[in-house]
């Protein structure tokens, strides 16, 4: 470091607002806050440090307000309760999120017409027990797919119902259009149509028999879950099935089949009986397949 000459009179430095242009022309160094030229030892300036004292800002303070309420104990003595009033201007905004509305319930009409069918699910407790115990029913998916193929079938080369929706109904204590409407939504997360719900219920009803047959042939699963199941309700007698078939038969079906045997054209039969050509053709295919 170059020492300053003792006999040299230091020139007075004129205060400047910006010393940077002067420092560019010199090779400078700093010592104890003084800036000097390394070559000549001339003092070019000094740093002035002052403590930062920010300006005080007085924020307005809202006056405390209180609500006074009176309550009484069991003995009738009054007690005063003071609660602060929150300034609405300072309070945080409350966000109102839309509440998820459950699908509307499908009311079952009473009166004329066929009574809505409700199927009791005797496997509900067993299905839930297997789920709670963590027993994986790896074969369940095969029975669900088989039920869809047997029941509602395909539409436009795709399953007419979702296997997931069918599996969801297997955990309900009862299968019906009304109970299924509470837990089924379409792909737009909107209530499913009645016709589509009927397809899902049909597939679940068919799957129940296959699942019941599997459990009946594998009693070790029931022993593992400590559950007893009465499988007799799953196998209806032939008499009841014949009665149900006769009750559901179309009143014009026999007449249409008779005219088909006589060689009448489908269009003529539809015009004569009032049955649509599509239904006449469907009955004709069923008879030919049988």
Indicate whether 189 belongs to any domain: yes
Count of CB atoms within 10 A of residue 130's CB?
A: 19
Reported as a pLDDT band with limits 50, 70 and 90, residue 78 is: low
Domain-embedded: residue 152: yes
CB 178 within 8 A of CB 108: yes
* pLDDT value, residue 232: 82
Residues 213 and 130 reside in one and the same domain? yes
pLDDT (0 to 100) of residue 239: 47
Residue 66 has pLDDT above 70, yes or no: no
93-106 pLDDT per residue, tens: 444 444 544 544 54
Which pLDDT value is given to residue 7? 44
In terms of domains, do 205 and 129 share one? Answer: yes
Q: Looking at the domain assignment, is residue 76 inside a domain?
A: no
Locate 201 and state its tokens. Answer: 């219920």
- Residue among 212, 225, 218, 209 at smallest CA distance from 131: 225
pLDDT at 35 over 60: yes
In terms of domains, do 120 and 219 share one?
A: yes
Give the whole-angstrom CA distance, residue 175 versus residue 205. 8
Looking at per-residue confidence, does 280 or 6 come out higher?
280
Query: Measured on CA atoms in the order 185, 190, 194, 196, is the torsion positive or negative?
Result: negative
| 203 and 263 in a common domain | no
Are both 213 and 260 inside the same structural domain?
no
Predicted confidence at residue 44, as pLDDT, reads 77
Domain enclosing residue 204, as ranges? 116-233
Residue 138 lies in a domain: yes
As a whole number, mean pLDDT of residues 104-117 equals: 55
Residue 80 located in a structural domain: no
Residues 253 and 219 in one domain: no
Length of the chain as a residue count:
290
Residues 208 and 266 grouped into a single domain: no
Residue 74 included in any domain: no
More confident residue, 243 or 52: 52
Specify if 278 maps to a domain. Answer: yes
**264 occurs within a structural domain:** yes
Interval 143-182: pLDDT, tens: 999 999 888 888 888 888 999 999 999 999 888 888 888 8
Give the chain's domain count: 3
End-to-end CA distance of the chain: 116
The residue that leads in pLDDT, 31 or 172, is 172
Comparing 14-18, 74-78, 94-98, 123-127, the range with the smallest average pLDDT is 94-98
The pLDDT tens digits for 235-282 are 765 544 444 544 567 888 888 888 988 888 988 898 888 888 888 888
Residues 128 and 228 in one domain: yes
Q: Within this chain, do residues 165 and 264 fall inside the same structural domain, yes or no?
A: no
Q: Are 280 and 204 in a shared domain?
A: no
Mean pLDDT of the chain, nearest integer? 75
282 and 258 within one domain? yes
pLDDT tens digit sequence for 177-222: 888 888 888 888 888 888 889 999 999 999 998 888 888 888 888 8
221 and 120 belong to one structural domain: yes
pLDDT of residue 16: 47
Best mean pLDDT range from 109-113, 231-235, 281-285: 281-285
């Amino acid at each position: 470091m170059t020492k300053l000459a003792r006999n040299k009179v230091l020139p007075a430095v004129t205060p400047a607002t910006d010393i940077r242009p002067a420092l560019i022309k010199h090779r400078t160094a700093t010592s104890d806050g003084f800036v000097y030229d390394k070559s000549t030892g001339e003092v070019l300036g000094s740093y002035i440090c002052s403590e930062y004292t920010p300006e005080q800002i007085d924020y307005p303070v809202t006056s405390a307000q209180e609500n006074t309420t009176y309550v009484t104990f069991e003995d009738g003595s009054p007690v005063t309760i003071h609660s602060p009033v929150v300034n609405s201007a300072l309070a945080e905004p409350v966000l109102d999120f839309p509440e998820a509305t459950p699908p509307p319930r499908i009311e079952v009409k009473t009166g004329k017409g066929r009574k809505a069918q409700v199927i009791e699910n005797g496997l509900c407790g067993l299905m839930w027990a297997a789920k709670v115990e963590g027993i994986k029913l790896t074969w369940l998916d095969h029975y669900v797919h088989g039920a869809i193929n047997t029941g509602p079938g395909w539409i436009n080369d795709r399953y007419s119902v979702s296997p997931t929706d069918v599996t969801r109904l297997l955990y309900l204590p009862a299968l019906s259009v009304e109970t299924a409407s509470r837990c089924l939504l379409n792909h737009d997360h909107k209530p499913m149509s009645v016709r589509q719900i009927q397809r899902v219920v049909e597939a679940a009803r068919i799957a129940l028999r296959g699942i019941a047959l599997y459990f009946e042939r594998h009693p070790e699963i029931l022993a593992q879950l400590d559950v007893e199941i009465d499988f007799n309700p799953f196998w209806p007698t032939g008499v009841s099935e014949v009665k149900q078939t006769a009750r559901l038969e179309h009143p014009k079906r026999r007449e249409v089949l008779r005219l088909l045997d006589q060689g009448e054209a489908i269009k003529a039969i539809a015009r004569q009986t009032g049955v649509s050509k599509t239904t006449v053709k469907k009955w004709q295919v069923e008879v030919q397949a049988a």
